[in-house]
Amino acid sequence: MDTIIRNNNDIKLAKLAGFCYGVRRAVEESIRIRKENPEVPVYILGQLIHNNHVIEQLEEMGICTINEIPENLEGICIIRTHGAAPETIEALKKTGCEVVDLTCPDVKRVQDKAKSLAQEGYKVIVIGKPDHPEVMGIKAHADRFSESLVISSKQEAEKYADKIAGFRKIGVVVQTTQLNENFQEIIPLLASHAKELKIYNTICDATFKRQKAAKELAGEVDLMVVVGSNSSANTAHLAEVIKPIKDTIQ
């Protein structure tokens, strides 16, 4: 942990502050692609990461964010860290562009788990935020074999209790940036209704360690400041876990 002294105030920086490996890899690779292909248009389908400052820097380098797939697209198009639906990647390839997949390896692992569970005949339940691009991509990988279900909270799990009880085999995966506490609350409800339950806790190690470090730091200071984009699930969840412990500014 680093401590900075400013105006007689100690500012402590969490030892795990900063981008995780998956985000850092995607940003560095995007910059490398731009530098090695100076005359070629470079695009990213959706925001590479949920950080407006970084997106602006990439755009200044000539890396354009697009939100829809045109009929024809020349150049290189990058799949963002959150991943994409298989159908989306197939549609991109049909435009004629070169597709570079920078899906976070941890997210790709969840996609593969969801796909395997669906292939094995499990009803796939994704614990996460339904409108988050990562969750949408994970769900799409499972949906190619059998329609999956997204549950975001204990309350939603209770609402779907009767429906869940009707599934013979249930397989669970989790959005990589989910709160571990949320996951732990939902699983017992699923277990109480399921006849057969297969669970993969796919919260990434970086997320878990950052949340743990943030809670520990909150016990040592007078005020917590979470620096990050309001659209970032990581930022939102860090603030969520420490607000009950200490006054928090996001």
The domain spans of the chain are 21-103, 106-199, 205-249
The answer to whether 229 and 203 have CB atoms below 8 angstroms apart is: no
Query: Same topology for domains 21-103 and 205-249, yes or no?
Result: no
Cα separation of the two ends of the chain: 20
Query: What are the distances in angstroms from CA 228 to CA 57, 89, 124?
Result: 15, 29, 31
What is the mean pLDDT of the segment spanning 196-225?
A: 90
H/E stretch holding 210: helix 205-218
Q: Under CATH, what is the fold of the domain 21-103?
A: Rossmann fold (3.40.50)
More confident position, 250 or 28: 28
134 tagged catalytic: yes
| pLDDT above 70: percentage of residues in the chain | 96
Looking at the structure, give the CATH architecture of the domain made up of residues 106-199: 3-Layer(aba) Sandwich (3.40)
β-strand pairing of 224-225 with 248-249: parallel
The H-or-E segment that residue 172 falls in is strand 169-174
Pairwise pLDDT comparison (15 vs 78), residue with the higher score: 78
* pLDDT of 182 over the 90 cut: yes
- 156-160 contacts, C-beta under 8 A, 24 or more apart: 157/186, 157/189, 157/190, 158/189
Find the helix or strand (DSSP H, E) in which 201 lies.
none
How many Å apart are CA 114 and CA 101, to the nearest integer? Answer: 19
Among 18-27, 35-44, 45-54, 238-247, where is mean pLDDT lowest? 238-247
pLDDT digits 0-9 by tens, 65-102: 999 999 889 999 999 999 999 999 999 999 999 999 99
Place of tokens 């919260």: 203
The answer to whether residue 128 scores a pLDDT higher than 70 is yes
Element (H, E) at 3: strand 2-6
Across residues 176-200, what is the average pLDDT? 93
- pLDDT over 80 at 6, yes or no: no
| Closest by Cα among 31, 41, 46, 51 to 103 | 46
Q: Note the pLDDT of residue 4.
A: 46
DSSP code for 148: -
Q: Which comes out higher in pLDDT, residue 20 or 27?
A: 27
Which one is catalytic: 29, 87, 134, 220? 134
For residue 178, give Cα distances in angstroms to 17, 41, 143: 17, 35, 21
The encoded tokens of residue 171 equal: 């397989």
Q: Say which CATH architecture domain 205-249 belongs to.
A: 3-Layer(aba) Sandwich (3.40)
Average pLDDT of the chain? 91
Query: How do residues 45-74 score in pLDDT, each as one tens digit?
Result: 999 988 888 999 999 999 999 999 998 899
Distance CA 92, CA 70 (A): 8
Q: Determine the Cα–Cα distance for residues 107 and 202; give it in Å rounded to an integer.
A: 8
Predicted local distance difference test score (pLDDT) of residue 5: 47
130-162 confidence digits (pLDDT tens): 999 999 999 999 999 999 999 999 999 999 988
